[in-house]
Chains A and B, each alone.
Chain A
Amino acid sequence: MVGPGAERARAVGMMRDAACAILPLVLLLGPGMRPALAVPAFAAQTSQPCATCHIGAFGPHLTPQGRDFKLHGYIGSDGKDHGLPLAVVTQTSFTHTAAPQPGGAAAGFKPNDNVALDQVALYYAGRITPEIGGFIELKYDGFKQQLQVDNVDIRRAREGELFGQDAVWGITFNNAPTVQDAWNSTPVWGLPFTRSSLAPTPMAAPLVDGGLNQRVVGAGAYMLWNDLLYAEADMYKGLDATALRATGQVPIDDGAHTTAFMPYARLAVIRDWKNHHLELGAFALSASVVADVNQIFGLSTRKTDAAIDATYQYISDPAKVTSDRLSAHATYIHENAAMDASPAQALTGALLDHALDTFRVDVSYSFAATVTPSVQYFRTTGTPDINYWGTPNGSPNSDGMIFEVGYVPWGKPDSLFSNLNLRLSVQYVSYFSFDGSTANAASNNNFYYSVRTAAKF
């Protein structure tokens, strides 16, 4: 027997699926819209195709020109007036997991094979004043059904000389550690650029690896000296519950809580020669947080993250933005989480100190800025503690691989639709171990098909 409630739910689901399929096209082609390129307002401001700044002709994978544009404060321009730099990006998807998820993949979704409107994002992206630029992303999250402020990076940059060599320095205001970074070997802009919110993901991750995104605000100063040395220092402050509600983050105890100040630092050595770019860097963050529900909820923990990262890019012909491009990244993050001894802590029986190590390495190759296959190996290991981690056997360990192929038909100089962009991708995530167990790890494997569109008002 199928009751009226179930029928109604199924009808709502069908309507949602249909909306998911149609909405991107409506947003892309509808009257009053001017479809454009990657973060399309940037492309319009500079008269450049997406492929100039993005490997694979779609953000956020940056080329050397994309990094330059960012480090110089997002103000590079063709000198024309393109109006307000507003753009819309949509993302819709289909997720299939190896095993159905009892009770539904998320509230309002089936146990498996879900079509979803992942997000609709409105960007202000470009010049704010002649010397200040940035981007502000306002997003409708289709899973949480919540409007929220997403990534923000506003900066002012200047050029000059230091010790007789060229230098670029600037200040940044942003809301996620590493969102301001120009290399894709740091967490916010690291591969995979998109993944399913309807597939299981490992529980444990270092704080700097997404744990503070949009839950903090920060300001910092950076400098690139002689195209060789990059240094940055920021100070973040955790948002209180009122601010989290106001920005749509909805503090429902699903993330690490803090209102403390948190220092962040970044150093990198970069080298460009002929067709090659190499970056070797390090970054660190320290914060006192109240751990989330996956750990010991309510107890304050000092988390200190130290990381090293590397980026290598090979551009087969720098004079052609559609030339083939190889890109590789590696990231290693070590986290030490220390709790103060207290009666509350003693009651839990948990250890005072826990280590967590995350390692990722990926390679992608972009053919003619059109087809870009990528592969990534990821691994997280940590101190086992049944009283600390929210896993069945107390181990936070997970590892696996991600395979992805992206297809971008436009965003190149000779594109038929020079003001239109679209990315189709298929991604497969395969786990060797998941939350401390190898036994059923493969049941979390998933296929994720996604369609991203970009349009400018």
Chain B
Amino acid sequence: MNIRLAAAMAFLMGVIVAVQAASTITVGQHGMVFTQTSASLGRGDRIVFTNEDDVIHNIHIFGPGADDSTDLGLQKPGATLTYRFDKAGSYMVRCSIHPSVKMAVTVK
């Protein structure tokens, strides 16, 4: 019985640790650039992209595979878009409208 209880407790603790390990960071598009040019994340971490400019942006995520891409669509001024990075690897996040808006994301 004690062994079962200990196992259940260990499982629950693991889940809690895993949930706590996933984090979320916020990256803005401000002045036609991302507020940071790179980020290092763990699997399951999220980035919330904000549009702090007064024009429409886009969030397009390329990677981790050569042919992998996810277009989160257009982002109006003040709007946010969120993406969860589930796979390990290297990503490139871009605005398809403004070529200079880009950041590298590494997921371990």
Chain A residues near B (Cβ < 8 Å): 46-49, 52, 64-65, 68-69, 71-72, 76-79, 159, 168, 317-322, 413
Contacts and interface: CB of A to CB of B under 8 A. Distances in A.
A69 B99 contact: yes
B100 interface: yes
A229 B96 CA distance: 23
Interface in B32-64: 32, 52-56, 58
A167 to B, nearest CB: 13
Nearest to B56: A47
Contacts of A65: 32, 98, 100
A49 B73 CA distance: 18
B71 interface: yes
Given A47-B74, A65-B32, A318-B32, A77 B96 contact: yes
B22 to A, nearest CB: 29
Nearest to A72: B99
Given A79-B58, A413-B55, A318 B99 contact: no
A322 B55 CA distance: 10
Contacts of B54: 319-322, 413
Interface in B7-39: 30-32
Nearest to A49: B55
Nearest to B32: A65
A318 B31 contact: yes
Nearest to A157: B99
Secondary structure of the A side of the interface?
A: loop
Contacts of A318: 30-32
Contact of B98 (A71, A76, A79, A159): A76
A76 B99 contact: yes
A52 B56 CA distance: 10
A68 B53 contact: no
Contacts of A319: 30-31, 52-54
18 contacts: A46-B97, A47-B56, A47-B74, A64-B100, A65-B98, A68-B98, A68-B99, A69-B98, A76-B96, A76-B97, A76-B98, A78-B56, A318-B30, A318-B31, A319-B52, A319-B53, A320-B54, A413-B77
A453 B37 CA distance: 39
A34 B100 CA distance: 29
B77 A48 contact: no
Given A318-B31, A318-B32, A319-B31, A48 B56 contact: yes
Interface of B: 30-32, 52-56, 58, 71, 73-74, 77, 96-100
Contact of B55 (A48, A68, A159, A168): A48
B97 A77 contact: yes
B99 A47 contact: no
Contacts of A79: 58, 71, 73-74, 96
Contacts of A322: 54
Contacts of B31: 317-319
Contacts of A52: 55
Contacts of A78: 56, 58, 74, 96-97
Which of A47, A71, A72 has most chain B Cβ within 10 Å?
Answer: A47
A76 B102 CA distance: 13
Nearest to B100: A68
A200 B87 CA distance: 67
Pick the 5 closest A-B CB pairs, nearest first.
Answer: A318-B31, A72-B99, A319-B31, A47-B56, A68-B100
Nearest to B60: A79
Contacts of A47: 56, 74, 97
A322 B74 CA distance: 21
Given A72-B99, A319-B30, 16 more contacts: A48-B55, A52-B55, A65-B98, A68-B99, A68-B100, A76-B98, A76-B99, A78-B56, A78-B97, A79-B71, A168-B99, A317-B31, A318-B30, A320-B53, A321-B54, A321-B55
A139 B104 CA distance: 44
Nearest to A47: B56
Contacts of B100: 64-65, 68
Nearest to A52: B55
A317 B55 CA distance: 13
Contacts of B56: 47-48, 78
A231 to B, nearest CB: 19
B7 to A, nearest CB: 50
B33 to A, nearest CB: 8
A227 to B, nearest CB: 8
B108 to A, nearest CB: 22
Contact of B97 (A48, A159, A321, A413): A48
B70 to A, nearest CB: 12
Nearest to A77: B96
Nearest to A320: B54
Contacts of A72: 99
A222 to B, nearest CB: 15
A71 B100 CA distance: 11
B74 to A, nearest CB: 6
B29 to A, nearest CB: 9
Nearest to A322: B54
